[in-house]
Amino acid sequence: NDQTNVRILSDSHRKLFQRGGIDAFIMSVPKSLGLLNYLRIWHDNSGQGDSASWFLKYVIVRDLQTMDKFYFISQRWFAVEKDDGKIERTIPVAGGSEQKEFSY
Q: pLDDT digits over 35-74, tens only?
A: 999 999 999 888 777 678 889 999 999 998 899 999 999 9
In a domain, 5, yes or no: no
The identity of residue 14, as a single letter, is R
Q: Is 12 part of any domain?
A: no
Tell me, yes or no, whether 15 lies in a domain. Answer: no
Residues spanned by the domain of 46: 38-102
What's the whole-model pTM score?
0.83
Kindly report the CATH number assigned to the domain that includes residue 44: 2.60.60.20
Q: Is 70 a member of any domain?
A: yes
Identify which has the larger pLDDT, 29 or 74: 74
In a domain, residue 30? The reply is no
3-state class of 92 per DSSP?
strand
Q: Is 87 a domain residue?
A: yes
CA quadruple 66, 74, 18, 12: dihedral, nearest 10: -40
